[in-house]
Structure 1
Amino acid sequence: MSLRATTAAVLAVTAGAAFAGEVTAERLFVSDRDQPKVTAVDPASGRILDTFGIRGPAALYRSASGQTVFAVQGDAGAVTAISTGIAIEDHGDHGDIHVKAPSLTGTEIAGKAPSHLVEHDGMFAAFFDGEGTARLFPETVALAGAPATREVRAPAPHHGVAVPYGAHVLLSEPNADDPKALPVGIRIVDAAGAPVGDIAACPDLHGEASSGSLVAFACATGLLIVTGGGDAPEVRHVAYPADLPEGKSTTLLGGRGLQYFLGNYGPDKVVLIDPTAEADAFRLVGLPTRRVTFAVDPVRARYAYVLTEDGVLHRLDVLAGRIDTTLRVTDPYSMNGHWNDPRPRIAVTGEQIVITDPLQGKLHLIDAASFTSAGEIAVTGKPYNIVAVGGSGQTHGDGHAAGHDHDHADDRIYRGHFEDAEIADRTLSDWAGDWQSVYPLLQAGALDPVMAHKAEHGDMSAEEQKAYFETGYRTDVERITIDGDVVTFFRDGQPVTARYADDGHEILTYAKGNRGVRYIFRKVDGDAAAPLFIQFSDHRIAPGAADHYHLYWGDDRATVLRELTNWPTYYPASMGTDDVVREMMAH
């Protein structure tokens, strides 16, 4: 579809939102079995929004936020990031949704034979089998188009996996006797790549998933379950019971809403795994014929779905541990032949189950509530791997990102002209949330429109503006989370955490005669690497939720107060690049 048609489709959604207040926006991203492309589809209208050329046929992974889809192209040696164009901000009592056209972000991570891509706690790890190397990066940097990755290396190339886990990485251990064999366990490494503790045995490791706070790895002998520990993650082994027939899981999915894992088990069974059960942790579910693919439902937590080679879709009641209904969807797809032959895959939206049909060039839509056919969408080529993103939220017709106030209640105060009597104390709750640094966006050139806009209304050129903000925004802390009195700083994805208490505020008078207020908090407990003082400036002088802020930090209160040239700036992590640009231009 042309850019013009794509833009029109997006405008149709956002225009309706301006009047309706709440909209639902969903998208499907479909790779082709043979061709180097990913197609974006609107499931509501059946419209093809865009088709993106990549380097090779791809497996697809979506981020937890739904803002990014990653195309992992093993034979082409590349991981390509695609912006879905949908971002949802959680404000507790409601969510704001931002919709724009999907697009390539410009991020491409190269390496030999990429295989598994895993996200955990906002960080991604792409494992390159041909190198035995994992490259780690946060989503915000991938969306900016120029990611700086951190590498963790296994002892040898192998078909492996890496999972970011707080300050550590869970890294598969290759078989020293046969690097072509499956891994033999999990090695925990720290931020510098140094091993922590002993290797956790997991023979024939293949399959990884997260459910809630748990991470699981599938082994020939059972599951490794990883939970957060003190100095390092804790790993325990849950063995297959003796009464389970011979077999093992090699693919795991994690439940959403309910904490469980779903795995394959032999050609014609799946297994439900309760990692917290004292007994009967494994429940086998037999299928009438061989399994083609399966998926969990992220919306209706009770259900999962299995497609068998006769073309029948089975709904699995997770709580009851049984198939409760079926529906014939496609022609038969035999499981004889190569594992990567074109066969259907499943994705789940808010209202529908979607199944690719590569030999027929179509997507089948199934109404999730009634479990009946809801139509088809034609997709050229052989639609193969598929992911779904989107959801519902409020949107606003003011031309800015939803949920943020641009009149600043009183522009006089925002510009730094106020009386001392107007200043009031504030708590850390004003800055609660998950925040991204805008410095990577500046470095990637994504803020060039902002610099041009400032040049039109100021006395510096766009190049001079960029140099000024290069100094102002510079930081190696790409993300900050604030929850209650706990502040976590992320450098290269590695967290440093501390608790902070109110330490008053200070009024600063600037050279131009305007003033500002620094709200100061002192560390009372936490990691030694966390700064002793943090000081917020967000142009407000009384309680109110920040829509962005400048943060200063260090171990000497007075020295930090004197810092006026470097002011690392943070916007909500849920905001896309275009939303940040619009916010900045509105100030």
Structure 2
Amino acid sequence: MSTPSPSTEARGTRGRTFAGVAALAGLALVATGCSASTADSGETGGEAAEGRVAVAYQNGIAVLDGTTLEIVDEFESEEFTRLNPVGDGRNVMVTMSKGFQVLDTAEPALTDRVFDATTPGHVVPHGGKTVLYDDGTGDSTVFETDALIGSEGLPESEVIPAEAAHHGVSIELEDGTFLTTIGDETARTGARALDADGEEIARSEDCPGIHGEGTAADEAVVFGCEDGALLYHHGEFEKLTAPDEFGRMGNAYVSETSPLVVGDYKTDPDAEGYLLNMVTLIDTAEHTFDVVDLPDNVQYTYRDVVRGPENLAYILSTDGSIHVLDPETGELTDEFPVVEPWEGPAEWQDPHPTIKVNGDTAYVTEPATNTVHAVDLTTGEKTASVELSAAPNEIAVALG
């Protein structure tokens, strides 16, 4: 494998710490996994399933055709890896022990291009920029989303350090505003906003346990807190308080064409297991925070909610069905049986049914049968299925 030359170039007059990222000469495929969590923002609109789907399983990754689910190729990887789309319709970031490794689903190839990170975590594409967050250092690496396409090495990038290392997340808005979480090794407390010159313009430390992010219409950004949510809109932070003393939202499921955000929700900090039975509904235009109790048979994990056609929410439940939730009313409007009933995982990393969406098509994993299904969310019909050699775990869609 060749080693591309490192690049160190400032971008404009941003005024923050910057550095280029050198690709590594190779990547030893050792058995180490990352323990970061992500929020799924979902993709809405469009009718056909295009592009390709990446599926991680123990020590491997499969690339599937987005329509037929035919296995295009398979690659060896580490024991547990996480997958996140870059946002360019082609590439997927694989969290490896040495950093974010680029999986090119078009070639396909698990390339030797690696963004160095001690503990690779969240990947957030938005507004033409993709941000990689390193939990081990707090560094955020920002690059042009489309820059990986046609690039032999790694693209020019900017590294923005955190005040202290923590499990965090960052996003860059279209006007250059950079939002990033605040925390250290003992606690996470809030978020701050930097302008295009790197100057702090807003700050809130009223979000204990801050986790995840999601961007709704009009670039309203929501972070989850242990007592509600933190909203950044029109240059200001605002706390949206949960109705319960402990009301944790950890993941935001959004559509960038809707002001309504659906979030997961937990009221018992000592509850065992990872199954949830309530959701939050946030209206970023009205700045409201509501909680909806789901029927007893509708239980899910952080991997089981997406936004899809008509900006509805789709919840993959332990009863084996996808339940359709209208975020405007909080009502369940339809149900599509897809997989056999399943139990919640003992550990969050354990394979359990997962859902991702591209346009009208949902991709659903069924680890009990080593299977991935494609489902038309407008009809509830399965359009394709494929059996893998091992139980599918993480899944990411590279849009065509």
TM-score, normalised with respect to structure 1? 0.53
Q: Which one-letter code corresponds to 2:171 in the other structure?
A: V
Post-superposition offset of 1:41:
0.9
Give the Cα separation in 2 of the matches to 1:77 and 1:106: 11
Say which of 226, 229, 232 aligns to 1:223: 229
SS in 1 for 2:51: strand
Q: Which residue of 2 aligns with 1:209?
A: 214
SS in 1 for 2:167: coil
Q: CA RMSD in A?
A: 2.6
Q: Which residue of 1 aligns with 2:249?
A: 249
Give the Cα separation in 1 of the matches to 2:323 and 2:158: 41
Give the Cα separation in 1 of the matches to 2:69 and 2:230: 42
Post-superposition offset of 1:344:
1.3
Q: Which residue of 1 aligns with 2:99?
A: 78
Post-superposition offset of 1:285:
4.1
Give the Cα separation in 2 of the matches to 1:24 and 1:367: 9
Greater Rg over alpha carbons, structure = 1
Asked if structure 1 preserves the Cα contact closer than 8 Å seen for 2:280 and 2:291, the reply is yes
Q: Which one-letter code corresponds to 2:224 in the other structure?
A: A
Say which of 118, 124, 136 aligns to 2:124: 118
Give the Cα separation in 2 of the matches to 1:48 and 1:198: 47
Asked if structure 2 preserves the Cα contact closer than 8 Å seen for 1:353 and 1:368, the reply is yes
Where relative contact order (Cα < 8 A, 6+ residues apart) is larger, the structure is: 2
Post-superposition offset of 1:104:
4.4
Asked if structure 2 preserves the Cα contact closer than 8 Å seen for 1:71 and 1:81, the reply is yes
Give the Cα separation in 1 of the matches to 2:284 and 2:240: 8
Q: Report 1:168-183 matches (<5 A).
A: 168-175=177-184, 179-181=185-187, 183=188
Give the Cα separation in 2 of the matches to 1:126 and 1:56: 21
The verdict on how the C-alpha distance between 1:216 and 1:197 changes in structure 2, with shifts beyond 3 A counting, is: closer
Q: Which residue of 1 aligns with 2:85?
A: 62
Deviation string 1:84-128 (CA, Å, 9 cap, x unpaired) is 43xxxxxxxxxxxxxxx4444553101111111112221111111
Q: Report 1:263-412 matches (<5 A).
A: 263-266=263-266, 267-277=276-286, 281-289=289-297, 290-292=299-301, 293-298=303-308, 300-335=309-344, 337-390=346-399
Give the Cα separation in 2 of the matches to 1:245 and 1:312: 31
SS in 2 for 1:376: strand
Give the Cα separation in 2 of the matches to 1:356 and 1:185: 34
SS in 2 for 1:148: coil
Identity of aligned residues (%): 24
Post-superposition offset of 1:55:
4.9
Give the Cα separation in 1 of the matches to 2:342 and 2:83: 21
Asked if structure 1 preserves the Cα contact closer than 8 Å seen for 2:202 and 2:236, the reply is no
Give the Cα separation in 2 of the matches to 1:169 and 1:61: 20
Deviation string 1:446-499 (CA, Å, 9 cap, x unpaired) is xxxxxxxxxxxxxxxxxxxxxxxxxxxxxxxxxxxxxxxxxxxxxxxxxxxxxx
Q: Which one-letter code corresponds to 1:187 in the other structure?
A: R
The verdict on how the C-alpha distance between 1:246 and 1:172 changes in structure 2, with shifts beyond 3 A counting, is: closer
Structure 2 segments unaligned to the other structure (5+ residues): 1-46, 267-275
Deviation string 1:198-238 (CA, Å, 9 cap, x unpaired) is 4443211012111122111111232222234xxxx322222
Give the Cα separation in 1 of the matches to 2:48 and 2:383: 18
Q: Which one-letter code corresponds to 1:80 in the other structure?
A: Q
The verdict on how the C-alpha distance between 1:335 and 1:46 changes in structure 2, with shifts beyond 3 A counting, is: closer
Q: Which residue of 2 aligns with 1:453?
A: none
Q: Give the paired residue count.
A: 339
Asked if structure 1 preserves the Cα contact closer than 8 Å seen for 2:56 and 2:82, the reply is no
Asked if structure 2 preserves the Cα contact closer than 8 Å seen for 1:285 and 1:321, the reply is no
Post-superposition offset of 1:336:
5.1
Give the Cα separation in 2 of the matches to 1:361 and 1:315: 25
Q: Which residue of 2 aligns with 1:569?
A: none
Give the Cα separation in 1 of the matches to 2:183 and 2:71: 42
Q: Which residue of 1 aligns with 2:54?
A: 30
In the alignment, does 2:48 pair up with 1:41? no
Give the Cα separation in 1 of the matches to 2:78 and 2:216: 32
SS in 1 for 2:61: strand
Post-superposition offset of 1:312:
2.7
The verdict on how the C-alpha distance between 1:29 and 1:38 changes in structure 2, with shifts beyond 3 A counting, is: farther
Post-superposition offset of 1:146:
1.7
Asked if structure 2 preserves the Cα contact closer than 8 Å seen for 1:30 and 1:384, the reply is no
Q: Which residue of 2 aligns with 1:186?
A: 191
Post-superposition offset of 1:135:
1.4
Q: Which residue of 1 aligns with 2:273?
A: none
Give the Cα separation in 2 of the matches to 1:252 and 1:302: 14
Q: Which residue of 2 aligns with 1:141?
A: 147
Asked if structure 2 preserves the Cα contact closer than 8 Å seen for 1:258 and 1:301, the reply is no
Q: Which one-letter code corresponds to 1:78 in the other structure?
A: G
Say which of 121, 129, 135 aligns to 1:129: 135
Post-superposition offset of 1:385:
1.7
SS in 2 for 1:26: coil
Q: Which residue of 2 aligns with 1:9?
A: none
Q: Which one-letter code corresponds to 2:137 in the other structure?
A: E
The verdict on how the C-alpha distance between 1:58 and 1:201 changes in structure 2, with shifts beyond 3 A counting, is: same
Deviation string 1:407-434 (CA, Å, 9 cap, x unpaired) is xxxxxxxxxxxxxxxxxxxxxxxxxxxx
Give the Cα separation in 1 of the matches to 2:399 and 2:198: 36
Give the Cα separation in 1 of the matches to 2:277 and 2:253: 17
Give the Cα separation in 2 of the matches to 1:275 and 1:313: 26
